Amino acid sequence: MSRSDEQNPADLAGAYALHALDADDMAIFEAHLAESKEARIEAAELTDIAVALGLAVAPVQPSDAVKANLMAMLSSTPQLPPLPASRTTSPSAMDVAAADPGASPAGPSVATATPGTEGPAATGAGTTAEPRPESDIHSGNASSTPRPSTATERAQARWFKRPSQFILAIAAAVALFVGGISLGQALNSNEFKSQQAASLAQINAANDSQRAATTTVDGQEVTLVWSNTLGISALLVDNLPALPSDQDYQLWYMNDGDATSAGTFDSSGDGTVWRVLDGTMHTGDQVGVTVEPTGGSDQPTSNPIVALQS
């Protein structure tokens, strides 16, 4: 900015420490910080002074609800890894996650993008929603290698190369709840959101946490994360198109030709929508998504837009 060019960037040190810089001057001053050790020392000292001003303010005891809310959210809030290298400013989780590009947007589709070799065998199958005994879940007989396909391999490589972004995206999604901003997706109540977030965090924290990924033919990235020992899974989709109001996306666990509903969700059309599946996941289950009338169907009435082998 011309007005700033007339000045010594060092003059910005005070406003910087007081968080009073606008974006343009912030960029100018950070460039200055990067070049000058003296400037970094001064900025640190003046930041300490700003903190002294902060410590001179009378404390105010928060209501008990603030701590209770926080403690309840911890287990569902993933933590960031340390920064790999020292930086002049530390970006927040939201900043970093916001830089994470999603898949290219695309129109609705009912094409099948099946990574496995079996296809959407469950479509139109009979009703068997009966959960299996718990003993099966602890068998440890995990099929840790999804059936190979180029889409799966490519997508998996993408995720495995970017584990930190993956976690950050989840962190950002969780943080959105906290700000009181609904994802605008399938999550209707705070309790439901918090259960969903807690389950997602559990999956990611589990020792046997696994993931598989593919894309719909329209290019939307779809990722399934699951834990066989926990018996739960979650599906994440980038830029899933919004549906008309009389339709919902419906999740299914599919096994041996049987489809079991695992809940419905909708999508705003951009960003990452995710949903922890209802019910219990069994080793070897496929997870599919169909488009159904609002509220969901007892059995799939259309071909899956995507199906993934766990």
Partner 1 sequence: MLGLMTVDSAGDLAPPAPASKEELLVQVARGDQSAFGELYDQIAPRVLGLVKRLLVDHAQSEEVTQEIFLEIWQSAARYESSRGGASTWILTMAHRRAVDRIRSSQAGRDRDTKIGIRDLAVAYDHVAETVEVRIEHERVEKAMTRLTQLQRQAVSLAYYGGLSHSEVADMLQIPLGTVKTRLRDGLIRLRDELGVAS
- Interface residues for partner 1 in 106-125 (CB under 8 A)? none
Give me the helices (H) in 179-305, please.
190-205
Span of 86-94, 144-152, 240-248, 266-274 interacting with partner 1 by CB under 8 A:
86-94
Burial of 97 (0-12, 13-18, 19+ CB in 10 A): buried
Question: 287: which strand partners?
Answer: 253, 308
Please report how close the Cβ of residue 191 comes to partner 1 at its closest, in angstroms. Answer: 17
Verify binding: residue 2, partner 1, rule CB under 8 A: no
CB nearer to partner 1: pick between 78 and 241: 78
Exposed e or buried b for every residue in 217-227, given b needs 16+ CB within 10 A?
ebebbbbbbbb
Question: 254: which strand partners?
Answer: 259, 286
User: How many chain residues are in contact with partner 1, going by CB under 8 A?
Assistant: 71
Verify binding: residue 217, partner 1, rule CB under 8 A: no
Q: Which amino acid would we find at residue 239?
A: N
Please report how close the Cβ of residue 248 comes to partner 1 at its closest, in angstroms. Answer: 31
Q: What is the DSSP string of 104-118?
A: PP----------SSS
Structure letter (DSSP) for residue 271: S
Please report how close the Cβ of residue 71 comes to partner 1 at its closest, in angstroms. Answer: 6
Span of 57-65, 260-268, 275-283, 295-303 interacting with partner 1 by CB under 8 A:
57-65
The token pair at 154 is 């490519």
Residue among 150, 179, 189, 244 that touches partner 1 (CB under 8 A): 179
Span of 2-10, 100-108, 145-153, 238-246 interacting with partner 1 by CB under 8 A:
2-10
CB nearer to partner 1: pick between 1 and 111: 1
